[in-house]
Amino acid sequence: MVGKEKALPGQLPLEREVEVAGSQVLQTPVDTMLEAQLQTQQRSSQNGQEVTSLWSSGFRMKLEAVTPFLGKYRPFVGRCCQTCTPKSWESLFHRSIMDLGFCSVILVKEENTSREWALRDLPPALGAVPRFRGWLVRRLCCFLWSLEQHIPPCQDAPQKIMESTGVQNVISGRAPGGAGEGQVPSLVKKDVQRILGHIQAPPRPFLLRLFSWAMLRFLNCLFLNVQLHKGQMKMVHKAAQAGSPLVLLSTHKSLLDGILLPFVLLSQGLGVLRVAWDPRACSPILRALLKKLGGLFLPSEANLSLDSSEGVLARAVVQAALEQLLLSGQPLLIFLEEPPGTQGSRLSALGQTWLGLVVQAVQVGIVPDAMLVPVAVTYDRVPDAPRDTYHALPPLGLWTGALAVLRSLRGWGCSHRVCIRVHLAQPFSLQEYTINARSCWGSRQTLEQLLQPIVLGQCTLVPDTEKEQEWTPVTGPLLALKEEDQLLVRMLSRHVLNACVASSAVMSTAIMATLLLFKHRKGVLLSQLLGEFSWLTEETLLRGFDVGFSGQLRCLVQHTLSLLRAHVALMRVHQGDLLVVPRPGPGLMHLARLSAGLLPAFLSEAVGACAVRGLLAGRVPPEGPCELQGIELLSQKELYRQILLLLHLLPQDLLLLQPCQSSYCYCQEVLDRLIQCGLLVAEETPGSRPACDTGRQHLSAKLLWKPSGDFTDSDSDDFEEAEGRYFRLSQQSRCPDFFLFLCRLLSPPLKAFAQAATFLHEGQLPDTESGYVEQLFQFLQATAQEEGFFECADLNLAISAIWTFRDLGVLRQTPSPAGPVLHLSSTFASRDNQEKLEQFIRQFICS
């Protein structure tokens, strides 16, 4: 276990989470590890045999405790943006909350209920058998805890919605589509009641208490723990006490998020959380139940055209319902990501619609302000991850969900139990963001304007502007807003989703999958894997990202391998060690999806490493020795250009850059990261002023009036002076391996894009968008079978490649009754230009 050392100011010792996660991992039944049957072919080259028991193959060895984390402290994550919301950054945070530590939400004891006194005062007859008292107390405490949850009384919301200004304008005919245009007001009122019934229903206190008790029992059976930082919860409580309604904006990794987060907030005293569900994900019976538990559903009529009378009425009712919800002070949960299993854009069109309604309510003054809370839920392994990720999931029914719960409970005694971390980032004011964020948006150009001339070799200068790329469709309620407000909602969505990802903890399965996929694809000894796991954990913590685990290193690796046993083979080798080998085949795609949880922590360095690779591609052969790469001088101007090209090529859904941060500023951040991690070393050319000589620097007017966000370690001088700076790749022993590791983190999307460029002259065009996606996906699968890179054979990567080529001007899209039809543009109809595109992409790929 980690040592009992005192935490430094502003840091959290890992020992506090050992009681939450580490001890739970150590208590995992040993017998369950014996059931992990790993079936692979015997490899003669290793001269070993695959083992079926982790414990009987070396884990029984008695070793001294290992401290796997540098300094044994974890960072406090989740601070809001200081550029866009400086007042919120100061007012809703205090350094003392960082030392509050973690708690397990599903751990309910006698002290968690105020009726503990009643159990102590039971008559002696009820406590005649002391050995049953603990069992009885635990059961009664869970029941009493569910009864004590505060559920505010339901107000007369339907009548207030009917009397709202927007609905009355429609009924009286003062708005388009109202009764004044031929409709009878009484019929319009019935339509209002019908639409309102589709949106919501009064929450039932009895069902909510029963649901809380059932969720507590279910979560205790299915998961080891549900961790929550008490300091983050204190920030949310402080924001709620300010009087503004809370709007929680969350990622969406599992369908379980929609019922887990209401349980967590109800247990922490924040009342009933109203969840904006996706109607496509639930059957009608399940929707009726969820509405009684506080769910909200957008009626289908709200997506009709702007001139439709039914659409106007539905949007007025939805807006009035949301305004009444905000006025009542009930917290609202909106998912910013599409449900799991959905192909296409990462950002949810439905989530942006609900967020647009909140923005509109604040702008018209219905509520003076709203506090936005970025939320994320991370799992060791997503419990309801779809096995078939290539087709949309059918709506979840009530009986289907019940059967899934029964199957989960039946297998709860096995080693399937995982850990969950709920992250609540620092709340910030929507009003403050609206005022400050608009000044940070610069000019934008399409990807075709930015990259196509450079790809074709027509010019070398990268325009000093941002990329305009929007893949999320705009639905009816959002179309009703002004274009300026639509842009505000899109930028706000990306900003909050960036905050959600930045505050998410990296789970042990993400670290293990990254090591096996990008560093030890051909296998690694368990003794070496222990050290690699510790190293990557330290690197993650040093970059300001938290990890969702703690405990003894050997037990953590054992627990992680048991969760990945379907995708990993263990082979016994000489001297009692184990060889851990990723199973070849489609299981590598599962490891790639898990490793995506670690990419945000190393994204800046990965972009920088691929940019350096692109800069060296034309100078040093890829198979040449590392010493040759270290000889080459890399100018800062060339590095900036390569980083910008890669930023424009990669989709925004992957990068998730903050809208308030310019691309040039991000280039500086990438270069700083490469210098700080030791990959780049400054090279002082003859006759130039040393980089460390600050005595003769003059503060020019341009520097004095530079925006504060543009100051970084690599930007102490003017840009003109920076053009003369040069760097070399470091020749330290660890740098070549680390450089290759960073390049490989971005290899799945880049290789998929390169293969899509190769497929241009083989695909059958013109074709519908869905048809061409299926063509490309089959080509990626066939290439994966030949080359073994199954992580590239992903349907979402195929869609991203086609959409990127469409934005780049490689493919043109025309409407048709069967859907959008794609065909090659005249520019890229020639084979030469297709090869130029493929060569442009492959320069960033490190083999």
In this structure, what are the phi and psi dihedrals at residue 428, rounded to the nearest 5 degrees? -145, 160
CB-facing half-sphere around the CA of 302: CA atoms within 13 A: 26
Residues 216 and 359 reside in one and the same domain: yes
Extended beta strands in 207-268, E state: 223-229, 246-250
Q: 417-467, pLDDT tens digit by residue?
A: 788 999 999 999 999 999 998 877 878 999 999 999 999 999 888 888 899
Between 508-518 and 526-542, two packed helices, what is the crossing angle to 10 degrees?
Answer: 120
Q: Of the given ranges (57-66, 263-272, 429-438), which has the lowest mean pLDDT?
A: 57-66
Q: Is the pLDDT of residue 120 over 80?
A: no
Q: Buried b vs exposed e over 624-657: b needs ≥16 C-beta within 10 Å? A: eeeeebbeeebbbebbbbbbbbbbbbbbbbbbbb
pLDDT tens for residues 368-417? 999 999 999 999 988 766 554 555 566 766 666 666 666 655 554 455 57
Burial class (CB in 10 A: 0-12, 13-18, 19+), 445: middle
- State how far the Cα of 664 lies from the Cα of 666, in Å rounded to an integer: 5
pLDDT mean over 281-304: 90
Measured in whole angstroms, the distance separating CA 753 from the mean position of its chain's CA atoms is 22
CA distance 214 to 266: 14
In a domain, 106, yes or no: yes
**Does 712 or 599 have the greater pLDDT score?**
599
Are 419 and 524 contained in the same domain?
Answer: no
Nearest to 797 by CA among 743, 723, 730, 747: 747
CATH of the domain at 774: 1.10.10
pLDDT value for 403: 62
Same domain, 424 and 511: no
Residue bearing the bigger pLDDT, 425 or 267: 425
Q: Which helix (H) or strand (E) holds 720?
A: helix 719-722
Instruction: State the Rg of the chain over Cα.
Output: 28
Average pLDDT, integer, range 615-632: 67
Mark which of 583, 618, 643 sits at the end of a domain.
583
**Digit-coded pLDDT (tens) for 187-200:** 878 888 899 999 99
Residue 726 lies in a domain: no
Total structural domains within the chain? 3
For residues 433 and 508, state if they share a domain. no
Hey, is 420 helix, strand or coil?
Answer: strand
Domain-located, residue 616: no
Q: Would you say residue 154 has pLDDT above 70?
A: no
In a domain, 78, yes or no: no
Where does a domain end: 554, 583, 612? 583
Res. 706 pLDDT band, cuts 50 70 90: very low
- Give phi and psi for 779, each to the nearest 5: -65, -40
- Give the residue numbers spanning the domain of 818: 748-843
How far apart CA 437 and CA 498 sit, in angstroms, is 15
**Confidence band (pLDDT; 50, 70, 90) for 714?**
very low
Supply the pLDDT for residue 305: 84
CATH number, domain of 521, equals: 3.30.420
46 belongs to a structural domain: no
Backbone angles phi, psi at 715, to 5 degrees: -125, 40
Same domain, 164 and 244: yes
Q: What is the largest CA-CA distance in the chain?
A: 94
- Element (H or E) spanning 824, and its range? strand 821-824
Residues 428 and 543 in one domain: no
Q: Are residues 318 and 420 in the same domain?
A: yes
Please calculate the CA angle 393-396-401 and round it to the nearest 5 degrees. 125
For the chain, the average pLDDT equals: 80
Q: Is residue 226 part of a domain?
A: yes
Same domain, 422 and 536: no
Considering the domain architecture, whether residues 258 and 165 belong to the same structural domain is answered as yes
- Give tens-digit pLDDT for 69-85: 444 567 889 899 999 99
HSE value, Cβ hemisphere, 13 Å, CA-based, for 720:
3
Chain-centroid distance of CA 66 in Å reads: 31
The reply to whether 154 and 280 lie within a common domain is yes
The predicted pLDDT at position 495 comes to 95
Contacts of 293 (CB under 8 A, 6+ apart): 203, 204, 207, 208, 211, 262
What whole-number distance in Å separates Cα of residue 325 and Cα of residue 196?
13
**In the predicted model, what is the mean pLDDT of residues 797-826?**
93
So what's the pLDDT on residue 708?
Answer: 43
Closest by CA position to 513, among listed 502, 498, 524: 524
Q: Is residue 120 part of a domain?
A: no
Q: Is the pLDDT of residue 698 over 60?
A: no
| Pair (345, 222) in one structural domain | yes
In this prediction, residue 108 carries a pLDDT of 72
Q: Are residues 354 and 430 in the same domain?
A: yes
Domain-located, residue 700: no
- Please tell me the predicted confidence (pLDDT) of residue 202: 86
Domain final residue pick, 583, 615, 646 = 583
Average pLDDT over residues 197-206: 89
